[in-house]
Structure 1
Amino acid sequence: MNTSIAIIGTGIAGISAAHSLQAAGHAVQLFDKSRGSGGRMASKRSDAGALDLGAQYFTARDRSFVDVVQQWKARGWVERWMPKLYHASHGQLSFSPDEQVRWVGTPRMSSISRAMLAGMPVQFSCRITEVFRGEQHWSLLDAEGNTHGPFSQVIVATPAPQASTLLAAAPKLAGAAASVVMEPTWAIALGFTNPLQTEVEGCFVQDSPLDWLARNRSKPGRDTQLDTWVLHASSQWSKQHIDLSKEAVIEQLHGAFAELIGCAVPAPAFSLAHRWLYARPATAHQWGALADTDLGLYACGDWCLSGRVEGAWLSGQEAARRLMERL
């Protein structure tokens, strides 16, 4: 029998749960407050092309996720990214190759979520503010005052601070979500008319306002009209400058980038900034997913596991599994 299930959030966790449930014959309805899918794997369209401002790449270690990624590759949704990797510490750059297999969506990270959502019922630009239960079913209230439902089950697949509010009907779940500390990240993109004279394509950074930088053109399928770079500030710097204007963030991080990259860095022809309030969980958990099976309320996300893309996918799978066990 088909069961009507609401899924709040179209990041990788929510899409993972939806994929499993739909494959098993259950009807799902997805909601997302943003205009597009992917969560922190979303890509921003800009005058410099599509830019991955959130997750820069992902890895696959769990056997089941490795198999999924291979399916994505066969469908043309992902390609392996093999950048010239460096490490920067105390202002010194050093070549730092490793054996890690890194994957990116093609031609942008959001290609994965867009492809997986094809054919699924989803409402974008719909911010759910409350999940409440009647005598037998769940209903959702959005920020515009509209009610959605009824649903027999609800999966909340949002960052933990947002999930804790939506899980109010299950205090234990809400408390667990509220206990998760999510750290912010300021991300900026800089585009240069002439390519910077450096071999660096990706760099892990220490002792700097930055903790990561990537050269966009080194990723498969990206627009190479401008030499665009994505820079992530460290969590510590981001927390200290959480309310700084975007213009000031760009100025300061551009300066930090110029100091460490080891070549002349002119004023960018293009720049933008984005603040991720809930970029990553401060610590990993081993919950898999949160569930009140008696109520029919579940939560999943990278914050339930490793904080990585793989963790988000596996958490969505676990939420779907526990839900289907109860049906």
Structure 2
Amino acid sequence: MSSSIAIIGTGLAGLSAAQALVNAGQTVQLFEKSRGSGGRMASRRSDGGTLDLGAQYFTARDRRFLETVRRWNSRGWVAEWAPNLYSFSAGQLSYSPDEQTRWVGTPRMSSITRALLGALPVQFTCRISEVFRGTRHWQLQDTDGENHGPFSQVIIATPAPQASALLAAAPKLAGAAASVAMEPTWAVAMGFSVPLDTPVEACFVQDSPLSWLARNRSKPGRNGAQDTWVLHASSAWSREHLDLPKEQVIEELHGAFAEMIGCAVPAPISSLAHRWLYARPVSSHEWGVLADADLGLYACGDWCLSGRVEGAWLSGQEAARRLLAHLQ
């Protein structure tokens, strides 16, 4: 069997690396523990329509990423989102417009990663538990005990705590990944039969269990019979209530939402909660990628840079660049 490059994780970092490698003529095989691609850019179907429970939007500051986003826009994968933006602080809700250009996938955030995945070979619902090296090549073992390989190179594109466990063959890389602290976030979506009487479409929240909220229908391409909102709890509240039952998380965040939104908020007719255990890194880094080119082992992700969507894409590009440079 001819060897290829294994990529563990089909979030934006892994797919960014995969696209760059395939464009350079390399063969890749992707592995994903979930049923679909996207990682924290994944979307969820609900009674209230399709919801973005993870990344709410993204910005483009790096020239290379901005050029890429413009290409995505021309293909219909993304669109600009200019919501009525508010802020809530010290008990006050205030209109807070800014000049920031915000992008969202259309008609859902996962549209981007689905388009990037395309027809690339991927094994879903396959959780890789070990990455080990034979005499010449890498082998992967999943939690069902099955082996996958051989692979000449491996790119690990998972959150830092998960990457650390898979980097055992490169202790220095494993140690670097283990040093990255990541914050959790509880996300709640709730739908209402009658639109809430508020001009708010997005809001940054302080001094509350919440940190962010967005009106789903304000985003391009989002339709639904319900007025659906996505709420993100603050990292501090999420840490403190990490193991709270989902029903109670929904109840408490519904109460916090009702207190700050400035209008009557009835009981939702639909609701769901999702816990992002590794939502974002506590601080940014400048690694770009963790790499042992001699071993053929790489780790990438938003945690290698800014923690933003842009950082995930740039980190995947850097992983591919370093790998290709070593092959030349």
TM-score range, shorter chain: over 0.9
2:3–2:149 CA contact under 8 A, matched in 1: no
Rounded to whole Å, the distance in 1 between the matches of 2:161 and 2:307 is: 14
Rounded to whole Å, the distance in 1 between the matches of 2:109 and 2:223 is: 13
Question: Partner of 1:174 in structure 2?
Answer: 174
Question: Partner of 1:260 in structure 2?
Answer: 260
1:217–1:223 CA contact under 8 A, matched in 2: yes
Deviations 1:220-263 (A, max 9, x none): 00023100000000000000000000000000000000000000
Rounded to whole Å, the distance in 2 between the matches of 1:278 and 1:3 is: 32
- Aligned-residue offset at 1:46: 1.4
2:88–2:94 CA contact under 8 A, matched in 1: yes
Q: For 2:212, what is the secondary structure of its paired residue?
A: strand
Question: Partner of 1:96 in structure 2?
Answer: 96
Question: Partner of 2:302 in structure 1?
Answer: 302
Rounded to whole Å, the distance in 1 between the matches of 2:268 and 2:17 is: 41
Aligned AA (1:211): S
Rounded to whole Å, the distance in 2 between the matches of 1:98 and 1:203 is: 12
Rounded to whole Å, the distance in 2 between the matches of 1:128 and 1:49 is: 32
Question: Partner of 2:145 in structure 1?
Answer: 145
Question: Partner of 1:220 in structure 2?
Answer: 220
Rounded to whole Å, the distance in 1 between the matches of 2:155 and 2:168 is: 13
Aligned AA (1:127): R
Per the normalisation by structure 1, the TM-score is: 0.99
2:197–2:264 CA contact under 8 A, matched in 1: yes
Question: Partner of 2:76 in structure 1?
Answer: 76
1:32–1:123 CA contact under 8 A, matched in 2: yes
Where structure 1 has 5 or more consecutive residues not aligned to the other structure, the ranges are: none
Rounded to whole Å, the distance in 1 between the matches of 2:213 and 2:293 is: 42
Aligned AA (2:65): F
Rounded to whole Å, the distance in 2 between the matches of 1:45 and 1:71 is: 27
Question: Partner of 1:57 in structure 2?
Answer: 57
Rounded to whole Å, the distance in 2 between the matches of 1:33 and 1:47 is: 25
Question: Partner of 2:251 in structure 1?
Answer: 251
Q: For 2:136, what is the secondary structure of its paired residue?
A: coil
- Superposition map of 1:190-229 within 5 A: 190-229=190-229
Q: For 1:238, what is the secondary structure of its paired residue?
A: helix
Rounded to whole Å, the distance in 2 between the matches of 1:172 and 1:19 is: 27
Aligned AA (1:76): G
Rounded to whole Å, the distance in 2 between the matches of 1:119 and 1:233 is: 36
Aligned AA (2:142): D
Q: Is it true that 1:19 corresponds to 2:19 in the alignment?
A: yes
Rounded to whole Å, the distance in 2 between the matches of 1:43 and 1:125 is: 17
Aligned AA (1:264): A
Runs of 4+ in 1 over 4 A off after TM superposition: none
Per the normalisation by structure 2, the TM-score is: 0.99
Deviations 1:58-99 (A, max 9, x none): 000000000000010011000000000000012210000000
Question: Partner of 2:279 in structure 1?
Answer: 279
Q: CA RMSD in A?
A: 0.7
Question: Partner of 1:41 in structure 2?
Answer: 41
2:3–2:150 CA contact under 8 A, matched in 1: no
Q: How many residues align?
A: 326
Rounded to whole Å, the distance in 1 between the matches of 2:91 and 2:12 is: 35
Rounded to whole Å, the distance in 1 between the matches of 2:186 and 2:96 is: 24
2:293–2:326 CA contact under 8 A, matched in 1: yes
Rounded to whole Å, the distance in 2 between the matches of 1:46 and 1:160 is: 29
Identity %: 75
Deviations 1:268-313 (A, max 9, x none): 0000000000000000000000000010000000000000000000
Q: Is it true that 1:320 corresponds to 2:313 in the alignment?
A: no
Deviations 1:132-182 (A, max 9, x none): 000100000001111000000000000000000000000000000000000
Q: For 1:152, what is the secondary structure of its paired residue?
A: strand
Q: Is it true that 1:157 corresponds to 2:157 in the alignment?
A: yes
Rounded to whole Å, the distance in 2 between the matches of 1:224 and 1:89 is: 30
Rounded to whole Å, the distance in 1 between the matches of 2:46 and 2:85 is: 26
Aligned AA (1:117): L
Question: Partner of 2:135 in structure 1?
Answer: 135
- Aligned-residue offset at 1:3: 6.0
Rounded to whole Å, the distance in 2 between the matches of 1:317 and 1:227 is: 38
Rounded to whole Å, the distance in 2 between the matches of 1:91 and 1:255 is: 14
2:185–2:277 CA contact under 8 A, matched in 1: yes
- Aligned-residue offset at 1:14: 0.2
1:49–1:223 CA contact under 8 A, matched in 2: yes
